[in-house]
Amino acid sequence: MGKKPRRSFTSEFKTEIVELCRRGDRSVGQIAKDFDPTETAVRDRVKQAEADAGERDGLNSSEREEPAALRRENRRLREDVDILDRATAFFAQETR
């Protein structure tokens, strides 16, 4: 059985799902069934919203994003250094 393709939801949709969960009218499972994200995705989104609001221990959204952003920047800088190394080697050969 193959994996389902990864779906993405807008931040407005995620906020609405969290608000529905906080109201307590329906269970997380019912909200997941009604709106189509998985139950785990709904629970994770609620936990993240609580962390962002300071209601729960854990990393907030910006703290979670920072390591990924630093990895992207590090990769880009390594590529820049690699290009500069190649350019240096090329021009060193040209001057001989």
Burial class (CB in 10 A: 0-12, 13-18, 19+), 31: buried
20 & 51 share domain: yes
26-30, 58-62, 75-79, 90-94: least confidently modelled range = 58-62
- What is the average per-residue pLDDT within 28-49? 91
Count of structural domains within the chain: 2
What are 67-92's pLDDT values in tens digits?
A: 999 999 999 999 999 999 999 999 99
pLDDT of 74 reads 98
52 & 80 share domain: no
73 & 48 share domain: no
Domain annotation covers residue 90: yes
Domain annotation covers residue 48: yes
Q: Report the C-alpha gap between 41 and 47 in whole angstroms.
A: 10
CB 28, CB 43: distance < 8 Å: yes
Q: 23 is in which domain, residue-wise?
A: 9-58
Global model pTM greater than 0.85: no
54 & 21 share domain: yes
CB 45, CB 17: distance < 8 Å: yes
- What percentage of the chain exceeds 70 in pLDDT? 97
